[in-house]
Every structure is written in C-alpha cells, then in structure tokens.
Structure 1
C-alpha cells in the first residue's frame, strides 16, 4: 500500500528548506558582490596598464596633456614640476573624485576639499593626451566629460544654471538633483558592485576620513610612480579615502579602499590596503 506524506512531514521539509535558504542566500549574495568587486578592481589595472603602455612608447607620456602646454613657459614648467612632485608623493596624484552616499547614486566630481585635494590635478585629463586616452581605454567613459563639466560650471549655482539652459541629460553623463546639491555620473556605469555605486551598507557613523561628515564619504582615483620612484618607469593606481596614502615609503603599506568582502582597490595588491581605516 502506498502512503503519501503527512501534513506535518511536509511542514518539516518546508521549514528545513527555509532554514537552508536563509543560510545560503546571504553567502550567495556575498559571493556575487565579491565577484562584482573583483571585476571593478580590474578597471584600475586596465587604467594602470594603459598608462604603462604609454610610458613604454615614451618616457614623457605622463606629461602629454593640453593642460601642461596651454600656458606660458613658466606656467607650464610650474605645472610639470607639480605633477612630478605629486607622482612621487605617498598619496600620489588625484585625477577625479567618487562620492558615496547611502540611498543615492554614485557622484563623480572633479575635486573636493575633503578628497585629497592638495594633490588634485584633474586638469590633466582634458579632452586629449595620455590621461584622457588612458581613461577611455580603461572604460571610464564619461568621466572626462564630467570633470570638464564640473570645472566649467563650478558650484551648485553654476550647475543649476547649466541645467536650466541645457537640461540634465548629456551624451555621456547625467546630472541629477540631490536636495540643494547635484550628482553627476556616467551614462555607462563605471562600476558594477554595490559598494562602489551606493557605498557601504552601514557604519557611516564610524567614518574617520571625512571629519564631522557622517552621511557620505569620498574616494579619489589616484596614480603614483611605482614605489614613489620615477626611475621605476611605471605607475600604480588606487582608490583612496581622504588623507590616505597609496604607499608609505617607510613600510610599503597603503590605505586604499577595502570593501566589506575584503577586496583591496590598489594595484599594489593587499599591502596597498594594509593601513585602510573606515
């Protein structure tokens, strides 16, 4: 005689499956996010490789930027010396800024006072030259246009006037209202992972790199001569919190961004995040 399952047996199986799903789902989601973060990390390597490829062709490649040739001789020399100095600094040279804010989309900025601003040279990107070409080769489409837009419009008032005149949609990026502020982000997503689109899920009250700001934080796309030495003829790339170092010259450790899943956003490898503080 065949017997079916009793209601109690079915309920027990449902409960067990529910428990297993509750255990497995978070792990699966964590694995998925870590995979996305590693894919995002590869874009830093693409940028590094694009710059290093240019350096193989010409040792002066990093000085190939309209910004370094548009002024008079004394101004150009001053800017070249500044770039040389920044590329050797422990924090490297800042190309652009990424702002993270819970519940809001990523915000790309040219510069910000709370984002390694003392080493910012976003002007290097321009619309041609090594830096512009490297960003596009590494699939950071729209970033150069955002930087130019931010420099042209200046503050929130300038952006508002531009939006009223030209609208919010541009060919490569979008402008979005955020209270009294504005957010700008590429139409082609720059990153895949949640942490590099919307920031960390929790713990913003523990942020130390933004002073009294407990609602958001900023990371800079930073570039440094490998080991801080021009003689290396190569560069490294990292996403740095405000005030962080790409590489401490005394111990080789860096403070680049480290995700909750343990992915280090530095082409120096894990040592590039050894001093990360959140």
Structure 2
C-alpha cells in the first residue's frame, strides 16, 4: 500500500529570482605621480617640508663668523691695551709714571679680561653648535668620509687629552664632507690645509695663554717679557680667528651647494619614477 504523499515533493519549489547585470566601473590605470614640490629629507622620508641638516647650516655659519669677528675685535683691543702697558713700563724706567696711570691701566686690563672671557665663551658655544650641525650635514650628504659620530662634535671638546685631537677630527670630517666629491671612500679622507692651520694656531694660542698665566714678573725686564708673551698669544688668537672664519665660510657654503645639488637629484629621481637611495 503506497502512501499518496510519497509522490509530492517534500519541499515546495519556488521560481528562480531574476538576475540583473551589475555594472562595475573599470579601474583607471595608475598614473605616474609627479615629483613632490618639496624634496625628501635624508633617508627618503617625507611627511612635510624637507629639513636637511644643511638647510640651517648657512645661517648658523653666518652667526658663527659674526661671533668670530667679535672675538677677533676683542683680541685687537687687548693688543692695544698691551701696547699701552708697554709704554707704562718705559715710563716706569724713566721715572715719569704716576699713580693715576697705573690705576687706569689696571682698570682697563680688568675690563678687557672680563670682555674677552665673555667673548671667548659665547664664540665657543656658537662654534661648537655650528660644528655639530655641519658634521650632521656631512654625515647625511657624504657619509663615506665620516670617521666619528656627530655627538663627538660637542663632547670631544670636554674630554681631557682627547680634546687635543677629537675637535680637529670632527672639523676635518665636516670639511671633507662638504668639499670632497660624492661617493668618496674612507681611504680618500684627508685633512685639508685650512683645518690644519686653524687647529695648529688654536693650540699655539692656548699654549701662549698658559705661559702668560704662569708668569709673575717682579722686575721691569720680566714684566716686559710677560707683556711680549701675552702680545704674541693675542696675535696668534687673531690669526686663529681668521683661519676659523675661512673654515666656517668654506664648509657652510660648500655644504649648502651640495644640499641644493642633492635635492635637485632627488626631485629628478622621483619625477623619473626611480627609487631613492637610503642615503642622500
């Protein structure tokens, strides 16, 4: 006996829903992006205007040169006072020296010492700041000639005995990084003559200051000898300041020119669709 329900479908059938064509817009081909209006910074990172270490080096170099000129002017003033002291020693020998002359000379010497101390400290602070920025610029623009980390541009001045060579090495790095051709290998590192002249004069001036500080004249002849030593030290300080101005001006201008060249190269590489190197 068959069940009449066996011939019926277990589930009712429903008509298939109609299908409609779906129109999808075709994706446009990827267009080559134009070169950015601002060049990328070191390492190829973007996210805003490019800030290369060399972008502020030229302005800081101008401030450093101005401070060196001030320091040079103070040294010339000190030399003028030393000539006056020499005249007083001659007057003391002839017996025409008065108490007011001695008082005025001592007061002028004290003022000159205070002004010279402030000028030296301010100039040193600005120069060390410039050297740090210059070394960073050299490390980013021409890393093949760098021998030490940029932090030594500051710390190298304050480590005993090491401060006899490390500031010279850091200045040489900054100088080579600015003037040596791109891609220079470490074996091509050479200390340039302006840096050598500046560092030699700076050490010689410091030796002269040490010799003058240890002197304790008790006679007219010994006073003349100390006056000559101090005068010689001031002359060397003037020459060292002139040499430092040459180094700062050369490094700052050359680094700024290299920065402009590298920015143009990067912009051209982005415009051409080339990948950028990790180091500029």
TM-score, normalisation: structure 1: 0.29
**Larger Rg, first or second structure (1 or 2):** 2
Whichever structure has more strand as a proportion of its residues is 1
Whichever structure has more helix as a proportion of its residues is 2
Q: Bigger relative contact order, structure 1 or 2, given CA contacts below 8 A and separation 6+?
A: 2
